[in-house]
Amino acid sequence: MEAGKLLEVLHLAERLKDTTRHCYTSSGRHESVAEHSWRISFMAYLVKDEFPEADMDKVICMCLIHDLGEAFTGDIPVFQKTAQDSEREKELLSAWVSGLPEPFASEMKELYREMEERQTIEAKIYKAMDSLEAVIQHNESDISTWEMHEYDLNLTYADDKVDFSDYLKSLREMIRQETLAKIERGK
């Protein structure tokens, strides 16, 4: 990638450092989209031995780019995001990706298509990491930051995303037990 274009892309990606998510960190500040993307990428790296049949480099790439559209729209929590919000984000991101030089434009378009269809093992792993990380982060935040509906949501969110893997179902259950313990403690 030509150096000027690289800087342009990096400047856009920097927006994700300042784009906050609904969730809080354990220290009490809003988590950024960039922090979320980093941690799901790290999660994917750490579970690579559990999925020897998967191209984990592809999974990590999916994790890294999955929320780039939020550089244009901001983060809208899953329980508030409408179909119109999703479509707007997709359109803005698609226009931006189309302006990237090759091979990046084609590669990213293919990754986004695969992520949306969620049929490959790689796309399923990425989506599971994305969803599980959100629940883990909620468990790490102070319970006073939770909205009432999140008590139930934290107990069920991502269940459907881990169905394909015994390992991830086991991890999800451990996270659920952390949620129950947190609710029980009330903090």
Indicate whether 74 pLDDT > 90: no
> What's the whole-number mean pLDDT along residues 103-118?
97
Radius of gyration of the chain (CA): 17
Measured CA to CA, the distance from residue 90 to residue 59 in angstroms comes to 20
Residue-level pLDDT at 171: 98
Q: How far is CA 145 from CA 10, 29, 34, 63, 78, in A?
A: 32, 10, 20, 26, 16
Find tokens 């000027």 and name the residue. 4
Q: Where are the beta strands (DSSP E) in the chain?
A: 20-24, 30-32
Summarised one tens digit per residue, pLDDT across range 40-63 is: 999 999 999 999 999 999 999 999
For residue 179, CA distances in Å to 19, 98, 138, 161 come to 26, 41, 8, 18
39 contacts: CB under 8 Å, gap ≥ 6: 133, 137
Confidence of residue 128 (pLDDT cuts 50, 70, 90): very high
> What's the confidence (pLDDT) of residue 187?
60
Pair of tokens at residue 68: 């780039």
Alpha carbons 122 and 115: distance in angstroms, whole number: 8
Q: DSSP readout, 59-92?
A: HHHHHHHTTTTHHHH----TTT--HHHHHHHHHH
pLDDT category at 88 given cuts 50, 70, 90 is very high
Burial label for 160, CB within 10 Å (0-12, 13-18, 19+), is: exposed
* Each residue's pLDDT tens digit, 22-41: 999 999 999 999 999 999 99
What are the residues whose beta carbons fall under 8 Å from the beta carbon of 36, sequence distance 6 or more?
Answer: 21, 23, 67, 133, 134, 137
Q: What is the pTM of this model?
A: 0.94
| Residue 77, pLDDT score | 81
